[in-house]
Structure 1
């Protein structure tokens, strides 16, 4: 994107349905180049049967400044994924176009364009606006079922429950966080569906709702029942039905790697009447559900944490219970009367045999097969804090919580932090390169189903990361809603809720702020409204138009729709000349979504734009 890149020829290949046309045996692919670029040879390079094949491209259309080329390549017969890139030969050198950009040398396998002909994610996912809810902190509508102080202890006689008033501060990181309860419940969520729908939300992602002693509920004691302090199974069925009646969907959190010490199978604190729990009982029928060291009291815990004993998937009864049986947990909640729409699998990359993640891919595929057998349109979403490429080739997960390909680069560009909160500053060209590299490694249909978040229950809130700078938050939100993948808001973002490391990032929703922060609510509504109406933002290819210093600009195009997103993170205004001719447009008029200016006219293939400091703009062709 820098000086060296500017000297390169213009070559572009999108990956939406205008650029890639599949048949049963082939892919027809299209490429545009600047009409002033006249290579001596232009090929598509593919690898049928793992051997290189160079297929000449034919001139398809020559109009104005753009020349369109096309070629048809065979779909791989030996595997589900077909990879390809483009090779141009000139008198001086070669140019290779691949998923991560343009280079003068042949790219590595990992950045080739890729198409999976066998496995596609559910069609509905890419059209959604997700909203993540931490149930105990969203809304309390049924105080009768709220946890009370000293009602029980999370660990035997240790860690007694603490009931707090709505909106009170949470404890410090590493202290009593898991023991504090504010009383959020399912009825609270259901009572706010009108609000959420008016906000433009279409799918809810709920942190765990199954019975568990902690407030975060990643320590499950019963996978087949809603925690009684959140509600009942019947109330959950009514919530899902209400969502579906509204055309909305819901994804639940699945914690299948480990259980609570309090789970009846483990029974660390001898709460069972029959004494059949696995703890201190080598003869227990559930002993082999976990990974004990012989007859000792030593067992494998998740990441060495003794309070989260790791399940033993070598045991066929464990496999049957979670995914393999007809009445498995995965299938149970996908069926009526519940009929959830997807599963978010907690720490799915760590699940496997023995202490580690041995044969992990086998189990992820098995989870997928179980879910898809019950509902072929079930969204299979994985949690990965780092790169998830190997899980996202189509046959395992439909999408991931996109930390590596979205949250990490966004944090570095806008907040000058890395994922571990160490200082990290990157310029616009590095930002664009990071995003494109991450996208390039997975099929386009999976790119569109990545769950993009600025923050979550596991991270500091984004507004706190940027030290309360709401202008920067708005820039990041504009990017969230315009980038490829599914936007997900963490509850409270719409009223500028702050929060540090957990549990501070799990503060109660401050409902009293709805009136005082209507400005931010309205801003979010602008973004969700555009996203929900725009096929280009849901499904269109990404085309970078500018990336230097503090400023980025890219287009999302599909069929006749063009949307340009431009953002200046810097502290001074920037004047831009955006080369819209690269999208095939010489002149046109754009409306301004954010600043509500009068229409901006573009002519001569260029759109002139002034971006104030710390601001973004979304321009919609009219």
Structure 2
């Protein structure tokens, strides 16, 4: 029994009293079809009415009442045929009632900002992207880092990264360079939004050890350069996200002042320091460092003063940069799942909700995005984060399926059936509105570059890029991936962008450009439903669609060509003709389409009336 519930209009229509839902089935005779929901935490079944056909499928409809006591509202479908039960939940079909965590879910109030779905993000590690003003660059020996034992080192642009100096070597990239690169990013590549790694005052090149939350590091251009960058991006219709590091500070922040760099009486210098309770100290007077790193003292949100400084006060850090002249569009929160009260993440959900509330007070369309290396379902139910850096639900399975390695760099060749099941499970446990604003990525400043993981195999990289731009969520390009920049594990993944176009992987670059253009041209790739069509052997195929338009992607990771016959009858819309992006017609039979996939390649099919 085939069952389908697309989680977009017109198959899901919100109303004041509830949500009009559509279930699609392959037949209708002899079926008992019900919508199951849980108002007041008690199971309730609502009969669904057969209302006609939807292409080759049968349509059943019912109205789901909003759950007045819980958000999100959860639901699933139950179909009985000749005494046999079929259940449909967010992660697929079941033979028995699914667990609540597997059910479809939708929020009445806490929905992500609508603009996010339409973006193509580009992540920039500022010191390594582009130098705009050489006079701003850090000079060798200019200062000592951290405790004062390590002098900073200036490197020539493009020199190899030294793994022994992960925090203290500088290449001179700055925000002036970012601004001067906007023509390349927007007009040539097609990027619409930037996510910048930390830019506030810090002695390190990565700047995850903040020393001043209210000033952009002068070596990156200072506050004036951020204001100028933001202003130009707004003129261009682009969006800007900054990195919020509020789980911890650096030891040289005036609040902490471990090494006496400031005139302040820091938390480590006296138990009477005004900032003492902003950090966690045990009974013996030892402070807690993030993940055991004593250079990153953890903040303690049980302190009212800290809460006011970070998010609650009238000029709190998170509010300050949302306002003119900076007017950023949201924050990416570093290790957001770890912050809280005391030495751990106590009361974490409360503070993430408070962050969201504060940002939405400043801008009702602010984007709240969290960093989670692992599964993040509970933060993505609508009331906390709009989306996450989607490592678990996208980067990890794609890495295992195409690169044969897991996030710990252990060998892991993922079966295609399991690959599809992983995607379905992760996607099905959060509201689809939030799935569409997940930040999908292949790699980042914290991971080896995907191109390196696949052994610089351009065809394998192109498969990954196709998934990046077609899968539900917002694609994010890590700077340099589009030109074939290589890099191993941190810090090697933070190499300088190579501006010599003679060194670029042009085939890969053109592929990025083509996929970005296709995503912008096809609304189903930004707003549409998702449906797996085939998962077997080395082949995976899926469709993205709205009521009006549909795209089908078929990928072959194997070393041999593969003929695939895809079932189009399972889609809730009918297209008379199918073609590739270049316009070539594709032969098909009623309800099916057959295509040949060359080795390590993909085919894109676009439905046309």
Normalized against structure 2, the TM-score is what? 0.98
- Indicate if the aligned counterparts of 1:588 and 1:603 stay in contact, CA closer than 8 A: no
Q: Which residue of 1 aligns with 2:14?
A: 22
Could you tell me how far 1:480 is from its partner in structure 2? 0.7
Q: Aligned partners of 1:272 and 1:101: how far apart in 2?
A: 58
Structure 1 match to 2:601: 615
Residue 383 of structure 2 corresponds to: 395
1:144 equivalent to 2:130? Answer no
Contact 2:91 2:424 in 1 (8 A): yes
Partners of 1:99 and 1:148 lie apart in 2 by 54
Q: Is the 8 A contact 2:547 2:573 kept in 1?
A: no
The correspondence for 1:576, drawn from 526, 546, 564, is: 564
Of 239, 244, 247, the match for 1:249:
239
Q: Distance in 2 between matches of 1:85 and 1:299?
A: 48
Q: Does 1:86 align with 2:74?
A: no
* Equivalences for residues 35-184 of structure 1 within 5 A: 35=27, 38-62=29-53, 65-172=56-163, 175-184=164-173
Report deviation, 1:39: 4.2
Q: Give 1:63 deviation, angstroms.
A: 5.8
Question: Aligned to 2:96, what secondary structure does the other structure show?
Answer: coil
Q: Structure 1, residues 259-299: CA drift from partner, whole Å, max 9, x if none?
A: 111111111111223x51222322322222212235x5511
- Corresponding residue for residue 567 of structure 1: 555
Report how far residue 64 of structure 1 moved.
6.0
Change (3 A) 1:123 1:64: closer
Tell me the CA shift for residue 62 of structure 1. Answer: 2.9
CA distance in 2, matches of 1:40, 1:249: 49
Equivalent residue number for residue 429 of structure 1: 417
CA distance in 1, matches of 2:74, 2:279: 41
Q: Which residue of 1 aligns with 2:199?
A: 209
After superposition, the Cα gap between the structure-2 partners of 1:556 and 1:64, relative to the gap in structure 1 and judged at 3 Å, is: closer
Identify the residue that residue 360 of structure 2 maps to in structure 1.
Answer: 372
Q: Secondary structure at the match of 1:473?
A: helix
- Inter-partner Cα distance in structure 2 for 1:396 and 1:407: 22
Rounded to whole Å, the distance in 2 between the matches of 1:136 and 1:13 is 46
Q: TM-score, normalised by structure 1?
A: 0.96
CA contact (8 A) 1:588 1:602 kept: no
1:600 partner SS: coil
Match of 2:253 in 1: 263
What is the distance in 2 between the residues matched to 1:272 and 1:560? 62
The answer (yes or no) to whether the contact 1:412–1:424 under 8 Å persists in 2 is: yes
Partner of 1:477 in structure 2?
465
1:240 Cα deviation from its structure 2 partner: 0.4
1:232 lines up with 2:204 in the alignment: no
Given candidates 370, 392, 416, the residue that maps to 1:404 is 392
- Aligned equivalent of 1:598, options 580, 584, 600: 584
Take 1:63 and 1:164, find their aligned partners in 2: how far apart are those partners?
62
Say whether residues 1:288 and 2:277 are aligned partners.
yes
**Could you report, residue by residue, the CA deviation over 1:380-424 in whole angstroms, capped at 9, with x for unpaired residues?**
000011111111110000000111111111111111111111111
What is the distance in 1 between the residues matched to 2:55 and 2:136?
68
2:54–2:573 CA contact under 8 A, matched in 1: no
Give the distance between the partners of 2:573 and 2:361, measured in 1 at CA.
Answer: 45
Matched position secondary structure for 1:552: strand
- Bigger shift: 282-291 or 91-100? 282-291
- Tell me whether 399-408 or 600-609 shows the greater mean CA deviation: 600-609
Show the counterpart of 1:3: none
Q: In the alignment, is the contact (CA less than 8 A) between 1:587 and 1:603 conserved in 2?
A: no
- SS of the equivalent of 1:542 reads strand
Q: How far is 1:334 from its partner?
A: 0.3
For residues 545-589 of structure 1, what are the alpha-carbon distances to aligned partners after superposition, in whole Å with 9 as ceiling and x for unaligned? 111111111110012101001100111011011111111456522
Name 1:5's counterpart in structure 2.
none
Matched pairs, number? 607
Structure 1 residue ranges without an equivalent (≥5): 1-8
User: Displacement of 1:600 after TM fit?
Assistant: 1.2
Residue 484 of structure 2 contacts residue 504 of structure 2 at CA under 8 Å; is this kept in 1? Answer: no
Q: Distance in 1 between matches of 2:202 and 2:592?
A: 58
Deviation at 1:516, TM superposition (A): 4.3
Does the aligned pair in 2 maintain the 1:588–1:601 contact within 8 Å?
no
